[in-house]
Amino acid sequence: MNKTEQQTPLQRAALIMVLLNGFTTPLMLSAANVALPAIAVDLKINAVMLSWIPMAYLMASAMFVLIFGRLADMYGRKRIFIAGTVSVIVTSLLAAISMNGELLIAARFLQGVSAAMLYATQIAIVSSVFPPAKRGHAIGMTVSAIYLGLTCGPVIGGYLIDVAGWRASFVFHIPLAIVVLFIAVLKVPGEWLAEEKGEFDIKGAMIYSLSIVFLCIGASTVPASTSLILILFGLIGIFLFFNIARRIPHPIFDVTLFYTNRVFTLSCLASFILYTATFANVVLISLYLQYLKEMSAFTAGLFMMIQPLTMAVFSPMAGRLSDHIEPRIIASAGMIITAIGLVMLALLNGVSSTVYLMAALIITGLGFSLFSSPNTNAIMSAVEKRFYGSAAGSIATMRVLGQMSSMVLVTLVFALIIGQVEIQPANYHSLQQAIHICFTIAALLCLPGLLFSLVRGSVHKQGI
């Protein structure tokens, strides 16, 4: 690295802080997914309630990521980041001591609120301290750290679950979170916030948050008669939220970018679609391996690490490439490769070989890594510096909404195919059918995602 490429002490400390945080939160998240079968047995909960353990986390993250993104612009991104780190530690302890399914779901909801503070500030902090020429590589490293956490979580968590029980999966990341807190307070001086503070849009925040709740609960209660009403209320709420946000000077989410910036808008839509298509992989593969293949939590964790490990390896390379090659080219290739991997996963059954599963996970992971970092770089490069907070909030929002939609899809399919019963050998056929349907829908979702990615436009001046 030559002198012009060397990081300043502030850049180095801020990047280490974000990288460690990017590692620890998904470390816990992926370990919790491996713990689902053990939780179901210990707390005696049915398939639909089981799906709410990851869903509650994602719903809360989706509800609050925009709110904290706006508060970070108003009061400081590092300040919200620190608050989120402290909150994750506390809520993880609450999850670990939960004595029934309802309390665990409540704790997971609070974990999601805490994580929203981090999701809203990670990329914004990186973009604030790194110039455009270095940003793609820094973002690629951040994405890689997230996937490294997703890689290690199933293995470490699976081992701890087998040895110490599922509660251990919620606490083993806490020492690293404390290190992140130490770096943030003592090693990263200064603060970053919007040039104009403005006012907080309370009405918009309430409408948006309630809309997310209606959509999630509505999807999870299908085919009950009230489910469609709740989903309709949720969609109406999102429509109202966008209309209100366009008319006020300081909304919690600056939707004007969606109406004025083609690259930004289509990149965000492509991101939302791919997260919807892929996030539930970890949950579905965990259930497939531990129920249909009868593997232990640790052995299942070894297989579940394959996809995120592939992402961790290739994301920095893809991010660096996107500094020189048009991001839409790399990201679109990634979308195609991801779709191929999802088709392979849709064809899984009880007698599929482990080699076949490994190949499918590697292909899916490679495709996602080629998409994620370049797409994020495209979003941040398509906006002016004054919009970094809104753009970073949009990235986090698309990711969390996509993750939530992915779990809504799983919850909906489970409710229709398996129903409100515990997963037992007698209904393994229904479980396999539900997994097949989820992966098939995910593969089909990549088609509109590919279209958005291809036609988004260019961010490099020379284009390709």
Average pLDDT of the residues in 313-332: 84
154-168, 189-203, 371-385: least confidently modelled range: 189-203
Give residue-wise pLDDT tens across range 164-218. 889 998 988 899 999 999 998 888 887 777 667 778 889 989 999 999 899 888 8
What is the pLDDT at residue 222? 67
Is the pLDDT at 464 greater than 70? The verdict is no
What is the pLDDT at residue 117? 92
In single-letter form, the type of residue at position 193 comes to: L
* Tokens encoding 59: 């719903």
Domain spanning 7-200+250-454: which CATH class is it, in words?
Answer: mainly alpha
Give residue-wise pLDDT tens across range 272-299. 999 999 988 888 998 899 888 888 888 8
What is the pLDDT at residue 361? 94
What is the pLDDT at residue 6? 64
Is the pLDDT at 391 greater than 50? The verdict is yes
Average pLDDT of the residues in 300-316: 84
Distances (CA, A) of 36 to 157, 174, 294: 11, 20, 14
What is the pLDDT at residue 450? 93
Is the pLDDT at 29 greater than 50? The verdict is yes
364: closest CA among 383, 389, 343?
343
Task: Label residue 5 by pLDDT band (50, 70, 90).
Answer: low
The vertex-272 CA angle with 68 and 29, nearest 5°, equals 60
The vertex-98 CA angle with 82 and 276, nearest 5°, equals 65
Pairwise CA distance, residues 73 & 120, whole Å: 10
Pairwise CA distance, residues 348 & 337, whole Å: 18
Average pLDDT of the residues in 398-421: 81
Helix (H/G/I), strand (E/B), else coil: 347: coil
Half-sphere exposure of residue 134, counting CA atoms within 13 Å on the CB side?
18
Average pLDDT of the residues in 65-70: 86
82-91, 214-223, 272-281, 374-383: least confidently modelled range: 214-223
Is the pLDDT at 453 greater than 50? The verdict is yes
- C-beta of residue 28 within 8 angstroms of C-beta of residue 169: yes
Is the pLDDT at 52 greater than 80? The verdict is yes
pLDDT top residue among 292 and 148: 292
Share of the chain above pLDDT 70, in %: 95
Average pLDDT of the residues in 343-366: 92
Average pLDDT of the residues in 57-73: 87
Question: Residue 195: which H helix or E strand, with range?
Answer: none
What is the pLDDT at residue 125? 86
Task: Label residue 452 by pLDDT band (50, 70, 90).
Answer: very high
According to DSSP, residue 169 is labeled G
Residue 457 backbone phi and psi in degrees, to 5: 105, -175
Give residue-wise pLDDT tens across range 97-138. 999 989 999 999 999 999 999 988 888 888 788 877 777 778
Is the pLDDT at 269 greater than 70? The verdict is yes
What is the pLDDT at residue 74? 84
Mean pLDDT taken over the chain: 85
Is the pLDDT at 253 greater than 60? The verdict is yes
Contacts of 40 (CB under 8 A, 6+ apart): 47, 50, 422, 423
Distance in Å from the first CA to the final CA of the chain: 27
pLDDT top residue among 54 and 333: 333
